[in-house]
């Protein structure tokens, strides 16, 4: 048994990591200049529909065409106003519609991952909420298939204990529905009072193939996430070391207040690690 563990560790060390970086939005540059900036840095971009899907389908196609021309990979973050476990049927229907609008625009953009915060417990049993959200995701996946949208639904690990979306819950959804996942490492840290066991996290992620992820600095309270911060170089280095250790294929979207600056910082650290 001990020999087998040693052999596994050697195989992990020999694997080559593959890390792609991306900016959360354009940092106020707008899409033409934002995409050019991503092209210059060699990074992707997550299109942020933070407060609503306020992009026409024709504009999405134009932006997608320009991104492809520049070699910039895109993903989408659906609006924050989503709760697939809402007790209010009107809010539940609106949540599903916002995710589906994001999927439609994502397809036109050529984006693959459609990231969203899945929902809230609202004082209910965790298993009850899991079943409600699972049912919602199954319904959404049927609509994605029916419309032939070439996208992956990616519920995101959330940063507060009041929110549905710890890593185990989302991995269970992946297994039982076939959806994808977005692993927000900063949220996992905030959800656990500033602590994260990367060995435990990456062993759970090992069989997923490509991993879409978010990262940034994070401020938290006893209730969890408070706000995103500039990413400290030592935190980037720690994450990259573990990605290298497990030889994973990861896209990391930086969500700090200075997303381009933190991507440059990350690129330098990754280059030094190689």
For the stretch 192-209, pLDDT in tens is 999 999 999 999 998 899
Q: Is 32 within the bounds of a domain? A: yes
Res 14: pLDDT? 39
Q: Is 9 within the bounds of a domain? A: no
| CB-CB contact of 185 with 239 (8 Å) | yes
Q: Is 2 within the bounds of a domain? A: no
Res 240: pLDDT? 96
Q: What are the backbone dihedrals phi and psi of residue 193, each rounded to the nearest 5 degrees, phi first? A: 55, 40
The residue among 115, 140, 160, 131 whose CA lies nearest residue 25 is: 115
d(CA 122, CA 129): 9
Q: Is 53 within the bounds of a domain? A: yes
d(CA 239, CA 273): 12
For residue 154, give the CATH number of its domain: 3.20.20.150
Res 207: pLDDT? 85
pLDDT of 1-60, one tens digit each?
444 344 334 444 435 679 999 999 999 999 999 999 999 999 999 999 999 999 999 999
| CB-CB contact of 217 with 229 (8 Å) | yes
Please state, for a pLDDT cut of 70, what percent of the chain lies above it. 94
Res 106: pLDDT? 98
Please state, for a pLDDT cut of 90, what percent of the chain lies above it. 91
Q: Is 200 within the bounds of a domain? A: yes
Q: Is 215 within the bounds of a domain? A: yes
For residues 228-250, average pLDDT = 96
pLDDT of 82-123, one tens digit each?
999 999 999 999 999 999 999 999 999 999 999 999 999 999
Res 17: pLDDT? 74
Q: Is 11 within the bounds of a domain? A: no
Res 4: pLDDT? 39
- Checking if the pLDDT of 125 tops 80, the result is yes
Res 9: pLDDT? 46
The residue among 182, 101, 211, 86 whose CA lies nearest residue 136 is: 86
Q: Is 5 within the bounds of a domain? A: no
Burial class (CB in 10 A: 0-12, 13-18, 19+), 85: buried
Indicate the number of domains in the chain.
1
Res 273: pLDDT? 81
pLDDT of 160-193, one tens digit each?
999 999 999 999 999 999 999 999 999 999 999 9
- Checking if the pLDDT of 218 tops 90, the result is yes
For residues 254-262, average pLDDT = 97
> Which residues form the domain of 29?
17-273
């Amino acid at each position: 048994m001990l020999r087998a563990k040693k052999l596994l560790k050697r195989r992990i060390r020999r694997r080559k990591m593959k890390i792609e970086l991306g900016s959360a939005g354009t940092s106020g540059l707008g899409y033409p200049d934002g995409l050019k900036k991503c092209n210059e840095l060699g990074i992707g971009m997550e299109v942020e529909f933070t407060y609503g899907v306020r992009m026409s389908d024709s504009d999405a196609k134009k932006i997608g065409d320009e991104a492809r021309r520049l070699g910039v990979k895109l993903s989408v973050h659906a609006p924050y106003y989503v709760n697939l476990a809402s007790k209010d049927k009107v809010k539940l229907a609106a949540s599903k519609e916002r995710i589906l609008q994001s999927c439609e625009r994502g397809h036109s953009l050529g984006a693959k991952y459609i990231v969203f915060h899945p929902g809230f417990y609202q004082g209910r049993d965790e298993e009850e909420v899991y079943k409600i959200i699972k049912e919602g995701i199954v319904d959404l996946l049927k609509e994605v298939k029916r419309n032939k949208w070439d996208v992956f639904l990616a519920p995101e690990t959330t940063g507060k204990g009041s929110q549905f979306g710890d890593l185990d819950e989302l991995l269970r959804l992946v297994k039982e529905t076939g959806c994808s996942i977005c692993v927000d490492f900063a949220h996992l840290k905030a959800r656990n009072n500033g602590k994260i066991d990367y060995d435990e996290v990456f062993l759970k992620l090992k069989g997923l193939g490509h991993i879409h992820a978010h990262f940034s600095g994070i401020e938290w309270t006893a209730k969890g996430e408070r706000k995103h911060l500039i990413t400290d170089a030592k935190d980037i280095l720690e994450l990259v070391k573990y990605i290298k250790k497990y030889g994973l294929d990861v896209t990391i979207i930086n969500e700090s207040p200075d997303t381009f600056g933190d991507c440059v910082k990350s690129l330098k650290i990754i280059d030094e690690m190689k």
